[in-house]
Amino acid sequence: MMTPIVFSQRRQMSLADRPPGDAHCETLAAQQVVGRMIESSPLTADADASVAETRTPLQAPCAVALYIDADNQSPAIVDDLLASVCDDWRLEISRVVLAGNDHGQSIPRWQAALSTRVPEEQVLTLEVPRTPEAADLVLILELGAAMEQHRQRADLIVVLSRDDLLIAAAEAVRLRGCRVWVAYAQTEAAAARTRLPTLLLPAVNRSVDSSKPRAAADPLPSVKAAIDAPNTDVQGTTATHQQPQDPKTKTRLAQLRAQCIPQPGGGYLSSDVGQVLYQLGLTRKADRARFLRAVPGLREVGTGKHKRLLF
């Protein structure tokens, strides 16, 4: 029998620290669990049969449990999410499960955003390897392990992700009598395919609101200096010097500057820029490349994981 994965809520635990063989076995076990959970999902079962099999939740929701895919959603949505949950719905946060591979420091950014209204001891952080669907799998395992507890305590489960695998598992949990919603940032990407109630959140970080002086519409001084400096260390250049006329392009540039971490010497890590653009709806590599080609004066400095984009 496979030994279950146990995560301590008192510390952040990384699956990458486990021996490779154990991680492989856990992934296989997780995939088996996922398969069983989504067999009766509305995505794969007849709609009428699914409705007939759905267990009615015991009572009205008393609190909210958040399951967050940090690799799929940006912490820019936290303020609007918590405003809806805590202020509009008048519900307390009972638990937060935050999973991600920490690419682009997504986990610390999520932790910082949540810390304004959620006590640290209520947040379970799970760092996963940089493998496809790793965050989805650990979130599904945690969701399955706590499913009956959520049902008995009348928690409203809110899954923050657009990923089909995680949403299918959430639908399976709904069929077993839990109240489940899906939430994600509203972008130009196609809406998630689900019958679950869905909360669409603004994709724009509040820091780019024109009412705040610290709008990120202009580069930091260090970035300006790097752009104005002679082009001596450039490894490559993305050409076009024409100012973008599309308002969406200007908005995305402001979002990039707000959500990416400025680097010493100016600019932003290329990996950070790619991840934020993905979260903003540019899920295809070709679309991200096309957008970057439209950025005026964009320069690339460095190589590999140290490559920075100056704009």
1 is a domain residue: no
Q: What percent of the chain has pLDDT over 90?
A: 34
Give the pairing of strands 155-160 and 179-186: parallel
Count: domains in the chain: 2
Same domain, 162 and 289: no
Same domain, 49 and 165: yes
Same domain, 197 and 227: no
How confident is the model at residue 55, as a pLDDT? Answer: 63
Cut 0.75: pTM above it: no
Q: Which residue has the higher pLDDT, 304 or 28?
A: 304
Same domain, 251 and 161: no
56 is a domain residue: yes
Same domain, 239 and 132: no
119 is a domain residue: yes
3 is a domain residue: no
Same domain, 33 and 83: yes
How confident is the model at residue 58, as a pLDDT? Answer: 56
Tell me the pLDDT band of 268, cut-offs 50, 70 and 90.
confident
| Whether residue 259 has pLDDT greater than 90 | no
13 DSSP β-pair partners: 126
300 DSSP β-pair partners: 236, 309
As a three-state string, the secondary structure of 247-266 is: HHHHHHHHHHHHHCCECCCC
Amino acid at 204: V
Amino acid at 233: D
How confident is the model at residue 70, as a pLDDT? Answer: 93
Same domain, 300 and 198: no
Give the pairing of strands 299-301 and 308-310: antiparallel
Q: Which of 188, 203, 218 is the last residue of a domain?
A: 203
Q: For residues 72 and 99, is the Cβ–Cβ distance under 8 A?
A: no
7 is a domain residue: no
CATH, residue 190: 3.40.50
Which tokens in the block code for residue 259? Answer: 């959500």
| Whether residue 232 has pLDDT greater than 90 | no
Q: Which domain holds residue 177?
A: 13-203
How confident is the model at residue 225, as a pLDDT? Answer: 38
Same domain, 279 and 233: yes
Same domain, 151 and 300: no
Same domain, 305 and 276: yes
Same domain, 194 and 280: no
How confident is the model at residue 33, as a pLDDT? Answer: 53
Same domain, 195 and 279: no
Tell me the pLDDT tens digit for each residue of 149-208.
999 999 999 999 999 999 999 999 999 999 999 999 987 666 778 999 999 998 654 443
259 is a domain residue: yes
Q: For residues 57 and 178, is the Cβ–Cβ distance under 8 A?
A: yes
